[in-house]
Amino acid sequence: MSRPSNMGDAEWQARIDLAATYRLCVHYGWDNLIYNHIALRVPDEPGHFLFKRHQVMFDEVCASNLVKIELRGKALSEDDGVNAAGFTIHTAILNARPDLHCTLHVHSKAGMAMSANAEGLLPMTQGAMRFYDRLAYHDYEGIATDLDEASRLARDLGPRHKSMILRNHGLLTCGTSASEALTLMRYLVGACETQLMLQATGCRIVLPSAETCEHAARQWERHDAHGGQDDWPAYLRIADRLDPSYRT
C-alpha cells in the first residue's frame, strides 16, 4: 500500500516514525507476538492517535496499516481490531498528559523481572540515573481491560514523569516524540538488565550520593532538551537497514 492521496504530509510522516519505532522494538528484542503497543498522536489532530491493529505483529507494521483512533471516543476492543488493554493504557496517558505525544509499553524479560523487584530500580549506573526521582510505579490490578484503571494509571504517572514501571507487568515510557519514548525505553530496559545481573551475583552495590544522582539526572534532562535530534536519524538508519518496508 502507499500513502492515501487525501492524507497530509504531517500525518504520513508520523505514520512512518511510528512504524519505524515498532520495527526497532523488534530489533531490540522487545516484541511479544501481536501484544504490547506504541501510540503516537496525529500531528494537528491531538484528539487522535495512531496505533497498530491487534492482529499485526511488530515486524509487520508499516505506515499504511496503522489505525487512527479517537482519544475520547468509544472504548475499543479486539472485536474492533484493537487490543483492549492497550487501548486502556495508552488513552489513559495521552488523555491526561497533553504534553506527551508518544507512549511505548513492552514486556521485556528484564522489565517484567524488575516490575516484581520490591526495591525497584536503583541509580547504580549512569544510564539508570536518568530515572532518579523521575520514575513512577503503578500497582498491578489485573489485565488492563477495565477502563476504571485509566484514572489510576494517569494518577501514578503524575504531571511530570515520563517513565513508569507497571508492577508485576512491564515497562512504560512516554515522550514528546517517538524518539524520546524509544530512547527512554532503551535506557530503562538496559538499567533493569544491569541491576538484575549485578544483584544475581549477591555482591554489595555501590550507589552515588543523592546529590550526585540528582546532578546526573539534570544533566540527562539538559541533553534530552535537544529533542534527540541526533538520535532519531540514527534510529531510522537502523530501521532502513533492517527492512525499509515500514515506510510503505
Model confidence over 100-143: pLDDT tens digits?
999 999 999 999 999 999 999 999 999 999 999 999 999 999 99
**Angle (nearest 5°) at CA 138 between 135 and 143:** 135
Q: What is the CATH number for 124?
A: 3.40.225.10
245 domain-assigned: no
pLDDT at 184 over 90: yes
Q: For residue 50, what pLDDT band results from cuts at 50, 70 and 90?
A: very high
Supply the pLDDT for residue 89: 97
For the chain, what is the mean pLDDT? Answer: 95
Q: Is residue 31 a part of any domain in this protein? A: yes
Question: Total structural domains in the chain?
Answer: 1
Identify the domain containing residue 101 by its residue range. 9-238
Three-state SS letters, the chain? CCCCCCCCHHHHHHHHHHHHHHHHHHHCCCCECCECEEEEEECCEEEEEEECCCCCCHHHCCHHHCEEEECCCCCCCHHHCCCHHHHHHHHHHHHHCCCCCEEEEECCHHHHHHHCCCCCCCCCCCCHHHHCCCCEEECCCCCCCCCCHHHHHHHHHCCCCCEEEECCCEEEEEECCHHHHHHHHHHHHHHHHHHHHHHHHCCCCCCCCHHHHHHHHHHHHHHHCCCCCCHHHHHHHHHHHHCHHHHC
pTM of the model: 0.95
193-234: per-residue pLDDT in tens? 999 999 999 999 999 999 999 999 999 999 888 756 789 999
Residue 94 clears pLDDT 90, i.e. is over it: yes
Instruction: Please check whether residue 201 lies inside any domain of the structure.
Output: yes
Residue 244 included in any domain = no
